[in-house]
Each structure stands twice: as structure tokens, then as C-alpha cells.
Amino acid sequence: MSETAALTVAVCQFSPTASRADNRARIAELTADAAVRGARLVVFPEYSSYFVDPMDATLVANSESLDGDFVGALQATASAHDVTIIAGLVESAGDRVRNTLVAMDAAGLRAAYRKQHLYDAFGQTESDWIEAGELGAPETLDVGGLRIAMMTCYDLRFPEVARTLVDVGADVIVVPAEWVRGPLKEHHWTTLLAARAIENTVYVVSADHPTPIGVGHSQIVDPQGVVIAGVGTAEGIAVAELTKDAVTRVREVNPVLRLRRYGVVPR
């Protein structure tokens, strides 16, 4: 892997709705805009395929398989603009659903991730409708010379999730979310994004829902915890260039992964 590898990434902050067709159309529009701005990886929020607040039984009725309309539309959009897209899918799972991230390019599905830690906190009970993902070896994908790994929203509060991704070689952790608003929630969101970047010396790329449901503030954070691009509270796109060299340089001066005494040394 070249140390000079570079990847332009876009985070697209938008409000998914109960119209699956509208969501697919909006993703296509935002991807086209991001591609014009040079993005080769385009990241969308959790629940991009379908979203209702509060959650209800319509989640099951509007869930899709990994070869359904949503995934097919992502592949077509990725092909049209020569990009890789990561977005949240409400995936079918019998009488329940899974909260799934899919990474798609012109060739098809590159990787999938099913949310492991469900949002049963702050008065919410995501587990009423969602089946948690199984623990296992993380799926990753290489884009533009950087290795990409994924986690979802509430997983951000569990440092071990990010560490397992770094242990399989991740340079970039992508975090689609629907980070619900509430007291101090914006502070938690931005603090945890920076913390996961700093403690793992990786880029963290996050895409949230805008207000009034989410907190917004989708961000691209560098391996030292500095926000290098971001969106406010409304819909929008932020774009930044990520480089393998930046990860390497930070790890040379701050070799926390090599010096730690728990776990394994990443490849």
C-alpha cells in the first residue's frame, strides 16, 4: 500500500424519510454533487433507506434484503459516478430487522456491517424492532489505497469496537449515525468522534441526520482528532482529502498502538 495514497471523501448529511423512493432519489442527487467535488467515497447516515420517528412496525414492512431495490440503486449510482457509497439499510430479518451498513461500488457489495450495540438508552429502545449484529471478524474494504472499516451510531460509545477495526488494519473508520438530540448529546457526539480518532490514530468519517431529529455536525476528523471538514445542523455535504501518509506520520510520533499492553498489534 502506497504511503502517498490519497482518498477524497464526502459526508452527506440528509434527512431520510418514510418514502424509500424519495430516499434513493436524494442519495443519487447528493452523490452526483459529491462526485463533482472530487469525492471517491461518499458516506450517508444510518437508516438511509427508510426512517420513521418514533420507530414502529413499518420498519419490517419497509425492510429490504441485500439484493433489494435500495442496494441495487446504490450500485447503479456508484457506477454512474465512479464512487464507493456507504449508507444505512433497514435489512430484513424475519419478524424483525437489522440495522445494516452497506458499502457499494460499481461491482456490487464490498462490505456490510450490522450494528452491534443497540440504542436502548436515553429513553429509547431500539431493540424493540432491531436485531443486533453478531460479533465476528470485521469486514473492511480498500478504497484509494486506504483501508475502510465501519461502525454505527451508538457503537461509537464503546471504544473496543473501534479498536477491533484498527486491529484488522483500518486507516479510516466510517460512522453513519442517527444521533438523537438531547441534553449534552451534541457534546457527546463530537467528543467521541475525536476520541476514537485520537486513541486509534485513524481518520473518523461520520454522517448524521440533521436537526430536528439528529444533532447534525457530520464531520471528517483526522488522526490527531482535528475536524478537517464538517457540516452544521442543516442538510449539506463536507469534503476532505485523506492520506495514508497522515496516518503513518501520526503513528510514528505517537505510537500508542505499538506501545499498548492489551490486545494485539495491528498489521
Active site residues: 46, 115, 153
C-alpha grid cell for residue 170? 483500518
3-state DSSP helix/strand/coil % of the chain, to nearest 5:
30, 30, 40
The alpha-helical segments, DSSP class H, found in 110-243 are 159-166, 185-200
Q: Residue 138 gets which letter from DSSP? A: P
User: Which H or E run contains 228?
Assistant: strand 227-230
Q: Residue 182 gets which letter from DSSP? A: -
Q: What are phi and psi of 252, to 5 degrees?
A: -70, -40
Q: Residue 3 gets which letter from DSSP? A: T
Asked if the bond preceding 138 is cis, omega within 30° of 0, the reply is: no
To the nearest 10 degrees (0 to 180), the angle between helices 185-200 and 159-166 is 30
Given a contact cutoff of 8 angstroms between Cβ atoms, the answer to whether 32 and 5 are in contact is: no
Q: What are phi and psi of 98, to 5 degrees?
A: -115, 145
